[in-house]
Copies of this chain bind each other. A is one copy, B any other.
Amino acid sequence: MSAVRVAMLGCGTVGAEVVRLLREQADELAARVGAPVELVGVAVRRPHKHPELGELLTTDSSTLVTRDDVDVVVEVIGGIEPARSLLLEALKAGKSVVTANKALLAEDAATLAEAADASGADLYYEAAVAGAIPLLRPLRESLVGDRISRVAGIVNGTTNFILSAMTATGAGYADALEEATRLGYAEADPSADVDGYDAASKAAILASLAFHTRVTSADVYCEGIRNVTAADIAAAREMGCVIKLLAICERIPGADTESVSARVYPAMIPATHPLAAVDGAFNAVFVEAEAAGQLMFYGQGAGGAPTASAVLGDLVAVARNRVLGGRGSRESAYASLPILPIGAVPTRYHVSLDVADRAGVLASIAGEFARHGVSIAAVRQTGDGSTDGSARLVVVTHAAPGEALAATVDRLAGLDAVRGVESVLRVEDLGRKGVTA
């Protein structure tokens, strides 16, 4: 049977592993696809860096992706342009596309999906979220007969490494970041990771698949971990919790219509939750569906070989579709649910206050919560050991709209009795009861 011919855009860490696996596993891949899988071209900017690829190299990406002898285009260059234009050219020419480009998919999956539909080509992107963990295919295919209510995960290994180190050693953020950088888990400019943008791209992709609704990175509320302190970590521990940077995608019931929320922020989760045990650079995604119940997927979220494994899985799928006929799942955006702004999303707060230790203080603080319609789940007051009449007051709320919580905290800061707002942490139970004071 004639070979399935593959062109690759980019040849960095992931691309080099894809090339290696294509060569080392050639016989097995051919057996699985039903035809040989042949690499026919690799477009790179600096060909002299890849002498081992010889004749396969080109700097002319645009010609490569539309060449007659190319069936499938694998894209591992990342970023919005020129990746988007090249993939659109490829899809329009009927080439199937396998991409690991989370930023592009989170910004503009719709345009790519439309081009794929127009030409009948496949568009696969398992490697874009959570590296080697098979996650998108289960969401798109295994759970397609179910109704997903929540996807919540640790989808950024850099920030999980930093938060794990802070939890294990009591280190502050700056020290933990320095350690992560030294060990190669954080880049020289860590912003995309620590400010949550990488996780937000993944949240957009996950929410789109889970809820059959187009969600882009601009729709995702995003807070990073720069402001998480050692005191926050300690406060979480006191509550039997740990702090994780979560990407949360939820179906939110409403009076008339359901909505979708997609958000990224550091949050306290119960230490007994399966996600709490996910340490270091590992990723894990927790899924709740109506019939399936609670599921978790765990594995390596980044790195050349793990990401290449996901690319190869997709490549075998699109190659099989070429050989056997048929086509993979298309974009499914039929539900078109509205996306709720963060101010309207019900979440919980853990607020730690430095207050004056005198009569009436608790009443005035509790009154402020009540005025904003925020119900208190638990309160704990402790002397802080000082001799100046201070006490520490911890308030954990029930779920309330984000804007009511934010407004409450703003007002608390202005109260006479409140000497300082020590920390405000979000709380996510993720289906476990257990976060009370």
Chain A contacts to B: CB under 8 angstroms: 17, 21, 25, 28-29, 31-32, 126, 132-134, 137-138, 141-147, 212, 274, 277, 289-300, 303, 305-306, 308-317, 320-321, 324-327, 329, 332, 334-335
Contact = CB atoms under 8 A, between A and B. Distances in A.
A17 B289 CA distance: 14
Given A134-B138, A325-B325, A143 B292 contact: no
Nearest to A326: B326
A204 B146 CA distance: 27
A146 B313 CA distance: 7
Contacts of A308: 291
A293 B306 contact: yes
Given A31-B332, A291-B312, A296-B297, 9 more contacts: A28-B212, A32-B145, A134-B134, A145-B316, A277-B277, A289-B309, A292-B299, A294-B300, A320-B329
B293 A332 contact: no
Contacts of A144: 32, 312-313, 316-317
B141 A317 contact: yes
Given A292-B306, A305-B291, A145 B311 contact: yes
Contacts of A309: 143, 145-146, 289-292
B306 A300 contact: no
A175 to B, nearest CB: 25
Contacts of A321: 326
Given A134-B143, A144-B32, A298 B299 contact: no
B294 A145 contact: no
Contact of A298 (B28, B212, B295, B300): B295
Contacts of A291: 17, 21, 132, 305-306, 308-309, 312
Contacts of A290: 305, 309
Which of A296, A305, A327 counts the most chain B CB atoms within 10 A?
A: A296
Contacts of A29: 145
28 contacts: A21-B145, A21-B291, A25-B145, A28-B147, A28-B212, A29-B145, A31-B334, A132-B289, A133-B295, A134-B137, A138-B138, A141-B317, A142-B310, A144-B317, A145-B311, A277-B277, A291-B306, A291-B308, A291-B312, A292-B309, A292-B310, A293-B299, A294-B299, A294-B300, A295-B298, A296-B297, A296-B299, A321-B326
